[in-house]
A and B are shown apart, each in its own frame.
Chain A
Amino acid sequence: MQTITKNNQSAERPLGTGVKGTSVIKSEGTMEQNVFEINDLNLWYGNDQALYGIDMKVPQNKVTAIIGPSGCGKSTYLKTLNRMVEMVPTVKTSGSIKYKGEDIFSNKYGVEDLRTKVGMVFQKPNPFPKSIYDNVAYGPRVHGVKKKAVLDQVVEKSLKDAAIWDEVKDRLNENAFGLSGGQQQRICIARALAIEPDVILMDEPTSALDPISTLKVEELVQELKKKYSIIIVTHNMQQAARISDKTAFFLNGELIEFDDTDKLFSNPSDKRTEDYISGRFG
């Protein structure tokens, strides 16, 4: 469990408005690098509390799975990590979330900067009604990359990383809506990869896909964790067991258990986790 990961360059990147070269607050002395440190996070939709005192450290370059029954707050939690949850105007939060040592709620840098580092893939494939090329180039363009040569390269690289290059390389100018659901979802992953985030949040990315597409996405996740830290929500426990290094079990807005995936599934320490993974509810 004690792994020393410090071989990834992306971890060295400055956060926020900092120019390249600004030093990152490194958690000197810790053996393991965390991308997120969540402390006592509470969240309310209006008066309804949806998350209760969550504490969690999300490791870097690992796949962290979040499981739990429907409505337990998995999506809410995930969307809090890139502050997408604030799109709902009534949302209030308390507690702290540190991304690489910096409080994401602080005014130091905008949500746009956070979301450039923490990308997201949604439950339902949601490509833009544009060409495949324009879909993938969207992020870099939004952030000011305009050169065609650079964009060409980014698009190819991202599509390759998302394992869909071979399927679409001859029709980059066709509308992404013409692809199958599974292909669309990988386009969405490529789109997220195009701005080279550090973290990719995935909210049940395979729940709308057929088994073969699901398999492809799962393999992709395994591949991607070499370069990215991945947090994936799934209510499919087999999937969590197959692809994740660590698993968090949520229930009614609380984090019940968070441990190595092997441990959590073979020897859960909480009775409720055991009930859930043995299919007694949810």
Chain B
Amino acid sequence: MLDTNQNNIQKRIRGRVLLNNVLKVLFFTSTTVGLIFLALLLYRVLTQGIGYLNGNFISNFPAPYPEEAGIFAGLIGSIMLIGIVAPVAIVIGVGTAIFLEEYAYKNRWTKFIQVNIQNLAGVPSIVYGLLGLTFFVYMLRFGYTLIAGGLTMALLVLPVIVVAAQEAIRSVPADIKEASYGMGASKWQTIRRVVLPAALPGILTGTILALSRAIGETAPLIIVGAATAIYTIPDSLLSKYTVMPIQIFNWTGRPQEEWQFVAAAGIIVLLIVLLLMNAIAVFIRNKF
């Protein structure tokens, strides 16, 4: 009697263990789906694009024939765009973070700003495009120019930078702030000389991630009128411009198969730029 009971229990345990093992395999397989997708994507893009990726591709302007098309305008445009986004978003973003962490009283207003930033982070990027279209393109009469695109993007990545900077500032140990105040340093002196240097790696890492998001964004720039065909590089803030993702989008939409390869080559360049930025972020994180 006792024996059969034991047997039953043993059987049930074996069943449960089996189920556990089966599902473990399932869970693992599910995890690999994302990874396999990533690998496939990279493989496809590389094999399709590598043939078109050469010096000419980097240095050429758009052209009607796939062999002559190049991403130069987009590459320079993306870099110039970041040249606007970075200073604007970093100053305002880090400023906001300092304000919230060091100056603001912990009252309802501060809470409101905080929740507001959280919500902004969840607003679809295309809605920022609409904001930029009304505000920068039409109201401020910038037109479809570099500055309109840059400011729109700056607003878009602002919440990311604020949140990263806040975390970095919060993690500066209180005791070194005390040491500074204890020597008669004022609040701003303490922030500038102690808090910000100590928070810098975190701020930089977050900022680079935010900027790489700006480099990869397409939709809002379509709305604020980044052009697809540009034959000169922008020479002022009020120039027309294009960026890499827009060019890639444009090439992807063309029916002839060769343009796919051009698009893939463009994607490789875009991904290399992103990879470089992330490498810098990792380097900074490890160095400090």
Is A142 positioned at the interface, with any CB of B under 8 Å from its CB? yes
A138 contacts B183, C-beta separation under 8 Å: yes
Tell which of A87, A124, A142 touches B184, judged by Cβ atoms closer than 8 Å.
A142
Given contacts A84-B178, A128-B176, A142-B189, A116 and B197 within 8 Å (CB-CB): no
Tell which of B175, B185, B197 touches A122, judged by Cβ atoms closer than 8 Å.
B175
| Residue in chain B with minimal CB distance to A130 | B197
Shortest CB distance A204–B (Å): 13
Give the interface centre of A111, A139, A141 by most chain B CB atoms within 10 Å: A139
| Residue in chain B with minimal CB distance to A129 | B198
Q: Which residues of A contact B194 (CB under 8 A)?
A: 128
Among the listed stretches A40-48, A187-195, A217-225, A236-244, which one makes contact with chain B, having 4 or more residues with CB under 8 Å of it?
A187-195
Tell which of A84, A113, A129, A191 touches B197, judged by Cβ atoms closer than 8 Å.
A129
Q: Which residues of B contact A128 (CB under 8 A)?
A: 176, 179-180, 194, 198
Is A171 positioned at the interface, with any CB of B under 8 Å from its CB? no
Tell which of B175, B176, B183, B197 touches A142, judged by Cβ atoms closer than 8 Å.
B183
B180 contacts A122, C-beta separation under 8 Å: no
A111 to B186, CA, bound (A): 9
Tell which of A116, A119, A138 touches B180, judged by Cβ atoms closer than 8 Å.
A138
B interface bracket (residues with beta carbon within 8 Å of A): 10 to 19
Tell which of B182, B189, B198 touches A119, judged by Cβ atoms closer than 8 Å.
B182
| Residue in chain B with minimal CB distance to A114 | B184
B175 contacts A126, C-beta separation under 8 Å: yes
A129 to B176, CA, bound (A): 9
Q: Which residues of B contact A116 (CB under 8 A)?
A: 183-184
Is B254 positioned at the interface, with any CB of A under 8 Å from its CB? no
Q: Which residues of B contact A82 (CB under 8 A)?
A: 182
Is A112 positioned at the interface, with any CB of B under 8 Å from its CB? yes
Considering only residues 143-202 of chain B, those with a C-beta below 8 Å from chain A are 173, 175-176, 178-186, 189, 193-194, 197-198
A84 to B175, CA, bound (A): 12
Is A120 positioned at the interface, with any CB of B under 8 Å from its CB? yes
Is A216 positioned at the interface, with any CB of B under 8 Å from its CB? no
B185 contacts A142, C-beta separation under 8 Å: yes
| Residue in chain A with minimal CB distance to B198 | A129
Tell which of A114, A120, A126, A139 touches B176, judged by Cβ atoms closer than 8 Å.
A126
A115 contacts B183, C-beta separation under 8 Å: yes
Q: Which residues of B contact A142 (CB under 8 A)?
A: 180, 183-185, 189, 193
Is A143 positioned at the interface, with any CB of B under 8 Å from its CB? yes
A192 to B184, CA, bound (A): 10
A134 to B194, CA, bound (A): 11
| Residue in chain B with minimal CB distance to A194 | B183
Interface SS, A side: helix
A261 to B184, CA, bound (A): 31
| Residue in chain A with minimal CB distance to B190 | A142
| Residue in chain A with minimal CB distance to B179 | A126
A87 contacts B181, C-beta separation under 8 Å: yes
A120 contacts B182, C-beta separation under 8 Å: yes
Considering only residues 88-123 of chain A, those with a C-beta below 8 Å from chain B are 111-116, 119-120, 122
Shortest CB distance B192–A (Å): 10
A257 to B85, CA, bound (A): 64
A174-202 interface bits toward B, Cβ cutoff 8 Å, 1 = contact, 0 = none: 00000000000000100110010000000
A143 to B189, CA, bound (A): 10
A190 to B95, CA, bound (A): 33
Considering only residues 126-154 of chain A, those with a C-beta below 8 Å from chain B are 126-130, 138-139, 141-143
B185 contacts A112, C-beta separation under 8 Å: yes
A139 contacts B181, C-beta separation under 8 Å: no
Shortest CB distance A144–B (Å): 10
A122 contacts B184, C-beta separation under 8 Å: no
A115 contacts B179, C-beta separation under 8 Å: no
Shortest CB distance A14–B (Å): 15
A84 to B198, CA, bound (A): 21
B184 contacts A113, C-beta separation under 8 Å: yes
Shortest CB distance B193–A (Å): 7
| Residue in chain B with minimal CB distance to A126 | B175
Q: Which residues of A contact B179 (CB under 8 A)?
A: 122, 126-128, 188, 191
A114 to B178, CA, bound (A): 15
Q: Which residues of B contact A122 (CB under 8 A)?
A: 175, 178-179, 182
| Residue in chain A with minimal CB distance to B189 | A142
B182 contacts A115, C-beta separation under 8 Å: yes
A120 to B184, CA, bound (A): 10
- Give me the 8 closest cross-chain CB pairs, A-B, nearest first: A115-B184, A116-B184, A120-B182, A126-B175, A139-B183, A112-B184, A142-B185, A126-B179
Chain B residues with a Cβ under 8 A of chain A:
173, 175-176, 178-186, 189, 193-194, 197-198
Known: A138-B193, A139-B183. 10 other contacts (CB 8 A): A87-B178, A122-B182, A126-B175, A126-B176, A128-B176, A128-B194, A129-B198, A138-B180, A142-B185, A195-B183
18 contacts between A and B (CB under 8 A): A87-B178, A87-B181, A111-B184, A112-B186, A115-B182, A116-B183, A119-B182, A122-B178, A126-B175, A126-B176, A128-B179, A130-B197, A139-B183, A142-B180, A142-B184, A142-B193, A192-B182, A195-B184
